[in-house]
Amino acid sequence: MTAAALDLQILRAFVLAAREGSVSRAAERLHLTQPAVSLQLKRLAEETGLQLFTRTPHGLALTADGAALLPQAERVLSAVGDLQQAARNLQGTVRGALRIGTILDPEFTRLGVFLRELVESAPQIETELRHGMSGNVLAQVLRGELDVGFHLDTDDDGETIAPAPLATRTLTRFTYRVVAPAGWGPQVLGRDWKALAALPWLGTPPESAHHRLLNKVFGPLGLSPRRAALVDQEASMLDLLKSGVGLSLLRDSIAIRESQSHGLVMADRVQLDCALRFVSLAARRNEPVIASAWNALARAWN
């Protein structure tokens, strides 16, 4: 007997006949006629070359060969059932690659919690993290080079600020403070934007949120702050601040911490509001992989 010749329906008939001790009851369970089940049992006996049942006044009884074969048949049917269930599970499984644009530090964006939620809910998704500046992340999402990303927005008008192709969610709002090196109190305390523009600043690339925030303030005033250095990472910015190179923007939580621990000076008359948002192309929002990312994000930020 070949494996191909062994019909699963025949095995089901054999197992049910053995369990029920009756062809008629096996036929009822299988929704077949008694002759059809009898034919299947006869075919199995022929293909195995074994006598599997004997007839008794009470129905069918397994022979020694039939009793030995029954556990094997049950294992085959169980394995097939497991295979079918696994196939059904896979039909609903989201799989694919997800390219995520990240910014700032992972704690602030809750990146770890977000990824944990994503892995637990959609383990077949492979994630690729690309860290960059806020403007770069937005541009790459718009070009389709990233699937989702975190973005800092200079506007405070809610969800409608994003370019039309984008789906957005505001995750949190916070404040940027103007921070100066220790000992610069007389130059920054009580000063407005015009006075602060005359001091040396740590510049950032156009793609950074710092650059966009400051342009929004200084542009309408016709001012261009004096740039002492160009930096593209918060860690470098903070180090240069502590070294006395120039002014910079820092998130309020960091500004307060560093003013307390290292004597950095926070300007007291000016500040800038900002929003951390999660973005993807609106047209791709409901793609299974991207939708899974949005769902995981919602759980991470709820």
Specify the 3-state DSSP secondary structure of 177: strand
220, containing H or E segment: helix 209-221
48-53-54 Cα angle (round to 5): 140
pLDDT tens track of the chain, all 302 residues?
Answer: 444 446 889 999 999 999 999 999 999 988 899 999 999 999 999 999 999 999 998 889 999 999 999 999 999 999 888 887 777 666 667 889 999 999 999 999 999 999 999 999 999 999 999 999 999 999 999 999 999 999 998 765 444 445 569 999 999 999 999 999 999 999 999 999 999 999 999 999 999 999 999 999 999 999 999 999 999 888 889 999 999 999 999 999 999 999 999 999 999 999 999 999 999 999 999 999 999 999 999 999 99
Statement: 96-173+277-301 belongs to CATH 3.40.190.10:
yes
HSE toward the beta carbon, residue 108, CA cutoff 13 A = 18
Q: What are the phi and psi torsion angles at 184 (to 5°)? A: -95, 15
pTM score, whole prediction: 0.70
Domain ranges of the chain: 8-91, 96-173+277-301, 174-273
The CATH number of 174-273 is which of 3.40.1410.10, 3.40.50.150, 3.40.50.2300, 3.40.190.10?
3.40.190.10
Cβ atoms 267, 178 nearer than 8 A: yes
Task: Say whether 96-173+277-301 and 8-91 share the same fold.
Answer: no
CATH for 8-91? 1.10.10.10
